[in-house]
Structure 1
Amino acid sequence: MQDTRAGFWIRLGANLLDWLLYLVVSLFLGLFLSETVSNYILDTLNFFYLLLVPAFWYGYTVGKRLLKIRIVKKNGENIGIWTMVKRYILGGLVYASPLIITGLISFTMIGFDVVEFFSTSAPSAELAQSMLGASAIMLIGSLLSFGILITSAFMVGLREDRRSIHDFVAGTYVTYRKPTEKLEEI
C-alpha cells in the first residue's frame, strides 16, 4: 500500500475533537470537584492522554481514530513512548523556547525589585520602567513562539511530506494507513 500523509485540516480536526473530549471531561469534573483540584486532574490526564494513548494505541488519539489518521515513525513503524516523549515534550519545548528564554530574561530584568513593587504604595519609576521593558520582551517571546507554531502549521499544509516541526523532532508523520496495512517499499 502507498502511504497517504494527513494534511493540515484533518490534523486540526483531530486536535479539535481531542479538545472537545477534554472539554467534556472538564465539565464533568467541574461538577464534582473544586476548580483547583479539577484543573490539576485535567492537566495530569491531558498530559498522559497525549503522551501515552498514541504510544499504546497504534498512534491514535480519540480524535485521530475518529478521523482515521494516526502517528507513525518515519520508517512507517508504530510509535512507542520514547517517540511520543520526543514528539510531545521535546517538540513542545521547541515551540515554547522563545517564550521560556524571554521569560527568563524578563525575570532577571526585574529581579527581586518585585518585592519593592508589592511592598510600597508607590513603586519607583525605575521599577515601573523595567517592568514595562520586561513586558515588551515577553510579548516578543510570545510572538516568536506563535511564529514557530504558524510555521509548523504551514509545513504540514505545504510540504509534500506533511511533516511539522514536532514530527521532525520525533522522526514521525501522520498517515491514513491503518496499523494492519503494510507499507509498500519504494
Structure 2
Amino acid sequence: MELHQPAGFWRRLGAILVDAGVGATIGFFIGPIFDDETLSRIAIWLYVMAYYILVPVYWNGYTVGKRVTGVRIVRVDGEKLGFKNTILRMPVTQILYTISFLTLYLVTIFMIIFREDKRAIHDFVAGTYVTTEKP
C-alpha cells in the first residue's frame, strides 16, 4: 500500500483550527435559537457531527479547513470516501479519545509527526489518511 503525499502535522493542525473557527461561528448562531442550554449544546454537537460526517463525503474529502490548507481525506484503498469512513473517523474515534482521558490525542500527535505515512489513530480506525494530493 503506497500513500501519496501524506499531509504533515502543521497543515493538519491548520485545518483543525480553521474548522474550529467555522464551528464556533455557526455555534454562535445556532446556540441562541434554543432557550434551554442543554438543547443548545445538543444542537451544536449535532451540527459539528454532521459537518465532519457529511461535508467530506460530499466535498471529495474536504472540509472548509482542509480546503483552505490544501489537504483532504482519502481512503487507503483508493475507493471513494463514504459515510462509514467519516462516521468511524469522527464520532467513533472521539469516543475513544474521550474515554482514554485524551491520552490517545497525544499518541495521535506523535503518530502524525513521526510516522512516515502521517496516519493518526482515527485514520487507522476509518481506513483513511490525509493527503496534499489534489483529486
- TM-score of the two chains, using structure 2 as the length reference: 0.87
Please give the secondary structure, in 2, of the residue aligned with 1:161.
coil
Give, in whole Å, the separation in 1 of the partners of 2:109 and 2:18. Answer: 17
Identical aligned residues as a percent? 39
Q: Is the Cα–Cα contact under 8 Å of residues 74 and 128 in structure 2 kept in the other structure?
A: yes
Please give the secondary structure, in 2, of the residue aligned with 1:174.
strand
Q: Is 1:86 aligned to 2:100, yes or no?
A: no
Which range is displaced more, 151-160 or 68-77?
A: 68-77
Instruction: Compare CA radii of gyration and give the structure with the larger one.
Output: 1
Superposition deviation, residue 33 in structure 1: 4.2
Higher helix fraction: Structure 1 or Structure 2?
Answer: 1
Give, in whole Å, the separation in 2 of the partners of 1:94 and 1:173. Answer: 18
The alignment's C-alpha RMSD in Å is: 1.8
Q: Describe the superposition over 1:63-83 as per-residue Cα deviations: whole angstroms up to 9, x where unpaired.
A: 101111100011233310011
Structure 2, unpaired ranges of 5+: none
Q: Is 1:56 aligned to 2:12, yes or no?
A: no
1:94 to 1:38, Cα distance in 2 relative to 1, 3 A: closer
1:65 to 1:35, Cα distance in 2 relative to 1, 3 A: farther
Q: Describe the superposition over 1:15-35 as per-residue Cα deviations: whole angstroms up to 9, x where unpaired.
A: 110110111112223455436
Count, aligned residues = 132
- TM-score of the two chains, using structure 1 as the length reference: 0.65
Q: Which residue of 2 aligns with 1:153?
A: 109
Give, in whole Å, the separation in 1 of the partners of 2:20 and 2:35. Answer: 21
Give, in whole Å, the separation in 2 of the partners of 1:26 and 1:167. Answer: 26
Q: Is the Cα–Cα contact under 8 Å of residues 31 and 43 in structure 2 kept in the other structure?
A: no
Q: Is 1:177 aligned to 2:133, yes or no?
A: yes
Which range is displaced more, 33-42 or 60-69?
A: 33-42
Structure 1, unpaired ranges of 5+: 99-144, 180-186
Give, in whole Å, the separation in 2 of the partners of 1:90 and 1:24. Answer: 24
